[in-house]
Structure 1
Amino acid sequence: MLSFLLSALLLTSPTNATSKTDWRTPFEKGKGNTTTTYAECIAYYQRLDKAYPEIRLQVAGTTDSGEPLHEVIVSLDKTFDPAKTRSKNRRVVLIQNGIHPGEPEGIDAAMMLARDYVQKPELRQQLQDVTLVIIPIYNVGGSLNRNSTTRANQNGPEQYGFRGNARNLDLNRDYVKQDSRNARSFAELLTRWQPDVFVDTHTSDGADYQYVMTLIATQQSKLHPALSKYLNGSLLPQLYQGMSQRQEPMTPYVDFEGRTPDARGLVGFLETPRYSSGYTALFNTIGFITETHMLKAYTPRVKAQYDFLDLMIRAVAHDADALGQARAEANRQLAAQTTFPLAWKLDTTAVEQVTFLGYEGRMKPSEVSGKSRLYYDRTAPYSRQINYYNTFRPTVTVARPAAYLIPQAWGEVVEHLRRAGTQLQRLTRDTTITAEVYYIQDYKTGTKPYEGHYLHNQVELRPGQQLLTFRQGDYVAWLNQPAARYLIETLEPQATDSFFAWGFFDSILQQKEYFSDYVFEDVAADLLRQDPALRQRLENLKKQNPAFAASGAAQLDWVYRQSPNYEKAHLRYPIVRWNGGKLPQAKVK
């Protein structure tokens, strides 16, 4: 540990920085329990940029704080352009730090990592076929909101940032809805770089156990099979073995349902596209969330993050060809995929055993309430085989359409699609076609706000074919493109994190026209006289439903909904599925 803290004192540069230059980070200059400030962090990368031509610090976008979002690019041959990097068949590793700035270990670790990878010859070799991209601090507003109290369960550092951003958003719930400028900037950065591997650094909450580091890998059931095979067969074994060899054994993220982790076992984390690694998985990027343990001292937590990131880069360098081939195969198979899952459920019949290094959970009287409370007995460590449930099964699937038609009125949706790199065409004239539409038959809505929205769930649809007119300038998103999975999981209303689920289309759920009952009574009576079949349907419903039969208002409303007076756009989802051939009147515009 001492050598880790003092390593910067011994560093020399193979390029143009001298051994007399003090390249220690604010963390290394402290006493093992301090983290850099936002200003110190950016200033340090500015120094690296000035001293080393292999490093470039640049603005990647805006944030809600008013300060820019930065990206640091480490490239041995000074190729800082994403397209040129891909043309050279380089693997790209994207590291994001400080999404929750009260969990700052990755911020400090990445600063040392960037320095070491240009200053140490053995590390430089790992970047022959790998480009490293670092987001120094993602949640800039939270980093500026510095304090020493809000992480009540955490053992240091002395001061740190706040979880919420400048708008009090949890940015790790914002990737698909993109309420924040941070998330919009990230989406554009991801589209530019198209990284092979993404790492998001965090600190855990929850149980106590022996590990310094736990890990969330992209959920194997949701990741494309070609990538999942590579992840489980090569990448994860290298990471777990490497951490063990560095005396930092690692375990899957400690998420569990019992009183303690060993009671029922660990449960895999289902990261839907609201989360960072769930969002990146939509584009066939393997994602990792590193979670160092909150109760361990700060220095070993920083070291664990550093070692994991170093091992990740080494593994990607070692597997550059295999990773590239797995991702290319995933992209090829995606182009031919006809059915897509939209929602998932844990399969409790699929279980494996993992060795878990924990502490015995015991009970004792609470000094606050006098009631029995849980504590973890650190004098009673154990190594135990426990269950691990990490298989999820699709509960809702959908057939892939040829295209989605998107009315230009929904500009916010179009902006999201464009940031994700979606290829869009526009209609060059007004067009009437018969296409597949959805009516929202039923849905449930959360009773409390969640990250600025009232989320919809349990969505039921009534599909049908309908003759519709689209206007010149409306959009067409063909599904024969790399963003196909993103399009499906955002535009299909039943998807867990669809735009409908997040309330982007709530205006269609409210009627704009209605009737006065005393006026419509006579109109309804005429309709029933003129349409005996409609009368019979009404009578059948009354026989089937006593509550309906007892309510005159309900019956009148039902007749209204069957009449020409009822607005056809009510509850009709505005995004239309097109399964026909070419639309000759659509072109890039």
Structure 2
Amino acid sequence: MAKKSDKPSKKQGKPRVHKELSGFEVSIDQFGELKTNMAIEKLNEFLNENVDDKKLAERNDYDEMKNQRRKRVEILSTRLTFPLTPIYIFMRTLASILLFFSVLTLSAQQVWPDELIITPEKTNYIKTSTHKEVMEFIHAIISKSENAFLFPMGISKEGKEIPVVVLSKDKIKTPAEAKASGKPVIYIQGNIHAGEVEGKEVLMLLMREILLGNKNYLLENQILLFAPIYNTDSNDKMEKGRRPSQEDSPLEVGLRETSQGLDLNRDGMKMEAIETQSLFANVLLPWDPQVFVDLHTTNGTWHAYSLTWAPGYQTSGHPALYEYVNNNLLPEITSTIKSKYDLNFGPFGDYYLREGWPPKNFYTYNHQPRYLVNQFGLRNRMSILSEAFAHERFYQRIHSTYRFVSEILEYTNTHASEIIETNKRAETETITEILAGAGKTKKGVRFKMVPLKKLDTFLTYDYIQKQKADGALENIRTGKIVNYENVTYHAKFEATTYATIPSGYIIPARFSKIAENLRQHGIKVETLTKAVTLTGEVFQIEKFEKAKQAFQGHAMAQAEGEFVSSSKRFSKGDFKVEMNQPLANLIFYLLEPQSDDGLLTWNFFDEFIEANKVENKPVEFPVFKYVNKPK
């Protein structure tokens, strides 16, 4: 039965500006903080008060004081309609001074120069930053801090630089220096979809706070890589109405796809986009981040969480990474954010009104490693998906995402060694499993979503049913937040098809495009220096189907058939891919013919299969799985 949430999520009001006749202006920003055009230093001098933020933060009642301050700020920000009599002006001015006194005793506000104020702050959250404005901000901030270094991830199709900013205590500028430091690299990416823009803004805000504000301690035990504007070209193709669920907040946003027409969050396996190739070549492979965070906005489901999250679904990868993020990191961060900021965060998903109301099921997204967050599990690294609630206002989404990323960095800074050790264990045990299980152990290559658990609490906007003239029932959303219990969360993936792990794969020399793709992923691919004979198994394709409707420019393919034992001779120049390497699970997912997201799926083998007229007779899949190693 539905019941009202005991403590529904607080909704911050729209930022307001109150102009005083006493010579200064007061506004409330997205963090509930008070800003003024009167210099803080002058106010401190006037009040004879020097504030130590860190000492205040240690107070047990710090959060309670912040809540009290928010209430006072809301009172000040309310527009009143009293006549501007002299006594009213005097009382309002006096009240403002007293309010500033109480605010400043809690937290001395940093006054930022204009070049370090981001576009949403300048426009009352009506606009988001252009590529030019992002680059100007980055150049301004790195000129003021020796702890920041800018390098280009790559250049987009339209000639725009894709910036990556390295933030480090040790002034690190190269991957070699990062590796030598022994600290984990944390890579956080915004704007993968250029209509989902709060991540872009949040990473600039965090640069400001970490490099020049009070969060420099976050660089003690980690190195941060921020890519605020990954999809550069489409960011500036702004129009109103691009994402209806965001209700034109901000007023205009860019396109989801790149200038090549590709969705960067579906490109992880095929790697066709310039941006994806640049990401792997210049960030993921050389810098080897231990944790990846991808910042998004939801597509419109009316749950009542300010932000939802998901771990990387590891499928055929090592389970330790998923378990650590899902069972340790994310629950702790969610609890901390609720306690500190009274924001409701929860697991990512959607429900469907066609299933009826109230909701009985909540479904996460897909498991495939085409999604970058999921692929990290196959790379023996941790990852987190962040999805801000689309229906909240832009400044609220910035607020939620800022709090989430900040707490992630608090956690990774505190647990840096533990994260490195967990990833290293996954890497080592992956290779051990291959060496021990080649030719015997089976792993999943196709999966289905199944229930994970019952959610103890599920916050959502309520719906009521109304009967239409034709007698059918229509669901109408209300403005009331309710708490449903025992909603089934579907976020587990069970294998439906298995394949045997080999010692390695042989790819005929004519398939150089396959070898190139593997190398782009960071997989070691060798070339046979002499002819060899190997025993193993080959897949006989008996049925080959392609989707009638294109997806990302591809008619997605699927093969059915069976493996048969075989001994084959291979020529000098053919490609050899050994499985005893850290990316073995990724190799397996890419090269298995029945994989639901492998290279066969993405049409890399179409020409060969169709040329051999698979519709008339079985066709031997050209990639051979061997068990004995080539000598």
TM-score band by shorter chain is 0.7 to 0.9
1:253 to 348, 351, 354: 348
Q: CA deviation at 1:7?
A: 7.3
Name the counterpart of 2:521.
Answer: 420
Q: Tell me, in whole angstroms, the C-alpha distance in 2 between the residues paired with 1:166 and 1:127.
A: 35
Residues 224-275 of structure 1 show CA distances to partners (whole Å, capped at 9, x for unaligned) of 2222332234211221112212121101112235546852221233331111
Aligned: 1:399 with 2:500: yes
Q: Tell me, in whole angstroms, the C-alpha distance in 1 between the residues paired with 2:517 and 2:362.
A: 35
In the TM superposition, 1:224-373 aligns within 5 A as 224-245=318-339, 246-257=341-352, 259=355, 262-337=358-433, 338=437, 339=441, 340-348=443-451, 350-364=452-466, 373=474
Unpaired segments ≥5 residues, structure 2: 1-11, 13-27, 42-109
2:624 to 567, 576, 583: 576
Q: CA deviation at 1:372?
A: 5.0
Aligned: 1:379 with 2:472: no
Name the counterpart of 1:587.
Answer: none
**Contact 2:541–2:620 (CA<8 Å) still a contact in 1?**
yes
Residues 30-86 of structure 1 show CA distances to partners (whole Å, capped at 9, x for unaligned) of 112321011111221121222212111111123333323221111111112223312
Q: CA deviation at 1:395?
A: 1.7
Name the counterpart of 1:532.
Answer: none
Q: Tell me, in whole angstroms, the C-alpha distance in 1 between the residues paired with 2:161 and 2:397.
A: 28
Name the counterpart of 1:215.
Answer: 309
Name the counterpart of 1:490.
Answer: 590
Aligned: 1:444 with 2:545: yes
User: SS of the counterpart of 1:103?
Assistant: coil
Q: Tell me, in whole angstroms, the C-alpha distance in 2 between the residues paired with 1:289 and 1:199.
A: 6
State the one-letter code of the partner of 1:139: N
Residues 377-431 of structure 1 show CA distances to partners (whole Å, capped at 9, x for unaligned) of 1135345442223322222222221111122322222222112211122112344
Residues 279-321 of structure 1 show CA distances to partners (whole Å, capped at 9, x for unaligned) of 2221122221111111111101011111111000000111112
1:468 to 566, 569, 579: 569
Greater Cα shift, 139-148 or 381-390:
381-390
TM-score w.r.t. length of structure 1: 0.83
State the one-letter code of the partner of 1:344: F
1:509 to 609, 615, 618: 609
Q: CA deviation at 1:166?
A: 0.5
Q: CA deviation at 1:20?
A: 6.5
Q: Tell me, in whole angstroms, the C-alpha distance in 1 between the residues paired with 2:180 and 2:392.
A: 43
Q: Tell me, in whole angstroms, the C-alpha distance in 2 between the residues paired with 1:187 and 1:95.
A: 14
Q: Tell me, in whole angstroms, the C-alpha distance in 1 between the residues paired with 2:310 and 2:317.
A: 13
**Contact 2:188–2:225 (CA<8 Å) still a contact in 1?**
yes
Closer/same/farther in 2, CA of residues 331 and 55 from structure 1, 3 Å limit: same
Closer/same/farther in 2, CA of residues 185 and 261 from structure 1, 3 Å limit: farther
In the TM superposition, 1:51-200 aligns within 5 A as 51-121=144-214, 123-155=215-247, 156-188=249-281, 189-200=283-294
Aligned residues: CA RMSD: 2.8
Q: CA deviation at 1:223?
A: 5.4
**Contact 2:455–2:485 (CA<8 Å) still a contact in 1?**
no
**Contact 2:457–2:483 (CA<8 Å) still a contact in 1?**
no
Closer/same/farther in 2, CA of residues 210 and 378 from structure 1, 3 Å limit: same
Greater Cα shift, 296-305 or 456-465:
456-465
Residues 524-565 of structure 1 show CA distances to partners (whole Å, capped at 9, x for unaligned) of xxxxxxxxxxxxxxxxxxxxxxxxxxxxxx9xx7xxx6xxxx
State the one-letter code of the partner of 1:218: G
User: SS of the counterpart of 1:126?
Assistant: helix
Closer/same/farther in 2, CA of residues 262 and 227 from structure 1, 3 Å limit: farther
Q: Tell me, in whole angstroms, the C-alpha distance in 2 between the residues paired with 1:115 and 1:370.
A: 57
User: SS of the counterpart of 1:65?
Assistant: coil
Name the counterpart of 2:295.
Answer: 201
User: SS of the counterpart of 2:431?
Assistant: helix
State the one-letter code of the partner of 1:305: T
State the one-letter code of the partner of 2:261: N
Work out the number of aligned pairs and report it.
523
Name the counterpart of 2:87.
Answer: none
Unpaired segments ≥5 residues, structure 1: 13-17, 515-553, 562-569, 585-589
User: SS of the counterpart of 1:230?
Assistant: helix
TM-score w.r.t. length of structure 2: 0.77
Closer/same/farther in 2, CA of residues 81 and 169 from structure 1, 3 Å limit: same
User: SS of the counterpart of 2:620?
Assistant: coil
Closer/same/farther in 2, CA of residues 507 and 112 from structure 1, 3 Å limit: same
Name the counterpart of 2:490.
Answer: 389
Q: Tell me, in whole angstroms, the C-alpha distance in 2 between the residues paired with 1:260 and 1:42.
A: 48
User: SS of the counterpart of 1:299?
Assistant: helix
Q: CA deviation at 1:8?
A: 8.5
Q: Tell me, in whole angstroms, the C-alpha distance in 2 between the residues paired with 1:97 and 1:307.
A: 15
Name the counterpart of 1:408.
Answer: 509
**Contact 1:73–1:132 (CA<8 Å) still a contact in 2?**
yes
**Contact 2:312–2:377 (CA<8 Å) still a contact in 1?**
yes
Q: Tell me, in whole angstroms, the C-alpha distance in 2 between the residues paired with 1:456 and 1:58.
A: 38
Q: Tell me, in whole angstroms, the C-alpha distance in 2 between the residues paired with 1:283 and 1:486.
A: 7
Closer/same/farther in 2, CA of residues 370 and 66 from structure 1, 3 Å limit: farther
Closer/same/farther in 2, CA of residues 572 and 30 from structure 1, 3 Å limit: same
State the one-letter code of the partner of 1:184: Q
User: SS of the counterpart of 2:359?
Assistant: helix
Q: CA deviation at 1:161?
A: 0.6
**Contact 2:169–2:219 (CA<8 Å) still a contact in 1?**
yes
Q: Tell me, in whole angstroms, the C-alpha distance in 2 between the residues paired with 1:160 and 1:366.
A: 36
Aligned: 1:455 with 2:549: no
**Contact 1:401–1:577 (CA<8 Å) still a contact in 2?**
yes
**Contact 2:311–2:326 (CA<8 Å) still a contact in 1?**
no
**Contact 2:542–2:559 (CA<8 Å) still a contact in 1?**
no
Q: Tell me, in whole angstroms, the C-alpha distance in 1 between the residues paired with 2:349 and 2:503.
A: 41
Closer/same/farther in 2, CA of residues 129 and 274 from structure 1, 3 Å limit: same
Identical residues among aligned pairs (%): 24
Q: Tell me, in whole angstroms, the C-alpha distance in 2 between the residues paired with 1:271 and 1:381.
A: 29
